[in-house]
Structure 1
Amino acid sequence: MELKALKTNNTTDSTCTLPVDLANYKLGYTDIVSPEWNHKMENDNVNLESVSLEKGCSVAPNPQTLRQFQVLVAERTAQLELSLKVQAKLYEQTRRQVEELRHLNELKDEFLSTISHELRTPLTSMSLAIRMLRQPEISPDRQQKYLEILESQCQQEIHLIDDLLTLQELEEQTIEMEGQTIDVQDFMETTTAGFETRWSHKQLKLNLEIAPESTNLETEPDSLKRILAELLANAGKFSDAQSQVRISVQPDRADGRDGVAVEIANRGMGIQNTELAEIFHKFRRGTGVTDRAIAGTGLGLALVKALVEQLGGTINVSSEPLASGSAWETCFTLLLPQSDSVSHEEIGNRE
């Protein structure tokens, strides 16, 4: 409370400023002016509450008004709490979007770095070979050597561009699959032939295990061949030297399915649990892969997953450390149905 003097018409009146409270809510202040209080203001021990009661300035709230006021306060409080919750949700949503954009930007930077390296390296070799071929009096042996370099590096460029275009076509669903019946035994032996020779610098062995019951499969052979080639190339890159790559083919009869289960396992550099969920994403490569100068663009496994889903199948991966040593065992599992047993609607639902 505040007691102050107010000068009006050459007469000094006393003004009493009192707070107006209603059910513990401060509504404001009121001023009470009276010339009768002049002598009271000279007394330091004046009781203002007694003065306010004396002049009838105490507030006696009406019960109905009090209830209306309490309802209004409750409504405004609820609106404020709701507004704060909405703002908190918007903040969290914005934070997640910013984090996702930051992650995508990191992937983009990593992809640009990788793709630049993969494109420039063959072009550099090709440019060098062309300059050497232009030298006068080059021997036939050296000429043949540089022509082989040109052909090899050109094929590498074509393979990279084909991967990009095929992946785009699969995402846009513009590729039509035509199923054919294949003999699983013959197909697997033909597709895997030559990989041991390709891995000779690491002395890797290929162990092919095919169950006798896995006879025929109705599928699109070119797509399946591309899937197996990508997975075997991936296994060869990340296997420890002098180790083994294992391929197991079994019939898949679970849950009434009629198809084939293919496992491709290798021992060597593993995949961290935090990366398993993203291993099939485009341009995604494992931690430390680029630092170790392991060739690749991060498109191979994304292409594999897209082709498997186009065939109506599924693919999963597991990677666990071995009990002894620092190596891990990584296993890709394909479940491939008979193509005539999977409807276009089911394939669309998987996508």
Structure 2
Amino acid sequence: MNGLPDDATLYQQAPCGLLVTDAAGLILRANATLCRWLGYSQAALVGKLRIQDRLPVGARIFHQTHCLPILQVQGSVGQLQMEIRDSGGQRMPVLVNIVRRTVDGRTFDEWSLAAMNERRSYERELLAARKTAEQALEARLEAETQLRDLNGELSDADRRKDEFLATLSHELRNPLAPMRGVLEVLKLDKARPASEAKLLDVFDRQLGHLTHLVDDLMEMSRITQNRMELRRAPVALADIVHSAVEDVAPMMRAARHDFSVTIEASGAVVDADPTRLSQVLVNLLTNACKYTPDGGLVSLSLRQEGEQAVIAVRDNGIGIPPEALATIFGMFSQLEPALRRAKGGLGIGLALVRGIVALHGGTIAAESPGPGLGSTFTVRLPRHTQEMPLTVAQTRGQAKAATPLKVLLVD
């Protein structure tokens, strides 16, 4: 075939030494590889030297007493480790295979010699690679064992943490009810001096704040222990949106935010616990209000995408650093310790939100271009097949509740 080397070229360029001797050992043919190894030209080797002439004494005796008798009986001998000398007398270890043939009454021995130096190098490399692989496998198995142990320890620590939170929230909640009762009794005295009434108002606000924190702890404990119960039913998502808007409207007004609500899917229905979903939206809107400087922009939109209802809460507040987006929904996660002191909270609000959304079969994601550039929280919930359009009374009531907030209904 055109372009392919012929047999003679392949013979000459073979990576092993090839030669043919007669019965007396005279070299009748040798390839270029063997000539290069021995340091002879073909003219100086072929027909001039016997193979025995290039064997050290020990190898020559071995050839005479071992190889030749076996060739005489079996016709071949293989995998013999011998040494051969080059023209300068240097010894070269080789692996020898010999086949005896008889042609027209003449006996020929066909030799092939593989350089043991290269083979030993390959063997050393192979052994080194095998050792490296075994060490890597051993290290991997050890790492997997350590990982299993660490996972077990983390699971135990997580379980103990959940148990601690459950116990802590209950223990903290127990004294709150009598404290609230005492406060209400004290507030019944209308003749109390203004200074004392002011102190009671402070007590009332702080007690309410403490109650809210304890409630968050209890809710988070229920979620982590899979004990939160949902009272699910088909419900118009717009109703939940408007309920949450009513709850946060005073806060938005106090902060002088430009707060807008856009409902593009007024008939969207979800199978949900309305109280829990309202809790989710109130939490997101409260965060948007708290972390947006006074007079900022806060918006809530409800739309439909295929089989999902999508609620987005946007603001132009402090934003979220890129590195914090991956952990923003973790328990006790807050952007900066300074914010915790300034804004309050335990940092479990978004973890609670994610847990409630997940229980409804939905997802929540956070986006932000970066610090100081605002943020967007998007909740996606599976839609129910039923449609529940808003009534005129509901629409008027919601618009009134939101005043002076912007409410846009798009059917």
TM-score range, shorter chain: 0.5 to 0.7
Aligned position for 1:327: 372
Aligned position for 2:208: 155
> Percent identity at matched positions?
24
User: Matches of 2:328 and 2:292 in 1, distance apart?
Assistant: 17
Return the match for 1:336 from 367, 370, 381.
381
State the Cα distance separating 1:93 from its structure 2 match.
7.8
| Inter-CA distance 206–80: structure 2 relative to 1 (3 Å threshold) | same
Aligned position for 2:37: none
**Secondary structure at 1:301 match in 2:** helix
The answer on whether the counterparts of 1:265 and 1:330 sit within 8 Å (CA) in structure 2 is yes
Return the match for 1:260 from 303, 309, 318.
309
The TM-score with structure 1 as length reference comes to 0.59
Structure 2: unaligned runs, 5 residues or longer: 1-55, 63-77, 82-93, 96-115, 162-167, 387-411
| Inter-CA distance 158–178: structure 2 relative to 1 (3 Å threshold) | same
State the Cα distance separating 1:301 from its structure 2 match.
0.4
Q: Which amino acid aligns with 1:293?
A: A
Larger Rg: 2
Q: Which amino acid aligns with 1:78?
A: A
Return the match for 1:223 from 273, 276, 289.
276
**Secondary structure at 1:332 match in 2:** strand
The answer on whether the counterparts of 1:251 and 1:260 sit within 8 Å (CA) in structure 2 is yes
State the Cα distance separating 1:306 from its structure 2 match.
0.3
How do 1:119-134 residues align onto structure 2 when only pairs under 5 Å count?
A: none
CA RMSD of aligned residues (A): 4.5
User: Matches of 2:144 and 2:199 in 1, distance apart?
Assistant: 56
User: Mean alpha-carbon deviation: is it higher for 138-147 or for 152-161?
Assistant: 138-147
Deviations 1:188-219 (A, max 9, x none): 22221142322444321321111154344331
How do 1:1-351 residues align onto structure 2 when only pairs under 5 Å count?
A: 64=80, 70=120, 73=124, 76-86=127-137, 139-253=192-306, 257=307, 259-287=308-336, 289-290=338-339, 293-321=342-370, 327-338=372-383
Aligned position for 1:34: none
User: Matches of 2:80 and 2:228 in 1, distance apart?
Assistant: 75
Give the total of aligned pairs. 256
User: Matches of 1:64 and 1:167 in 2, distance apart?
Assistant: 77
Deviations 1:11-32 (A, max 9, x none): xxxxxxxxxxxxxxxxxxxxxx
User: Matches of 1:96 and 1:275 in 2, distance apart?
Assistant: 26
Deviations 1:103-138 (A, max 9, x none): x9xxx9xxxxxx9xxx9xxx9xx9xxx9xx9xxxx9
State the Cα distance separating 1:297 from its structure 2 match.
1.4
**Secondary structure at 2:343 match in 1:** coil
The answer on whether the counterparts of 2:364 and 2:379 sit within 8 Å (CA) in structure 1 is yes
State the Cα distance separating 1:169 from its structure 2 match.
1.4
The answer on whether the counterparts of 2:216 and 2:349 sit within 8 Å (CA) in structure 1 is yes
User: Matches of 1:216 and 1:156 in 2, distance apart?
Assistant: 33
**Secondary structure at 1:260 match in 2:** strand
User: Matches of 2:134 and 2:356 in 1, distance apart?
Assistant: 47
User: Matches of 1:154 and 1:225 in 2, distance apart?
Assistant: 23
Q: Which amino acid aligns with 1:297?
A: L
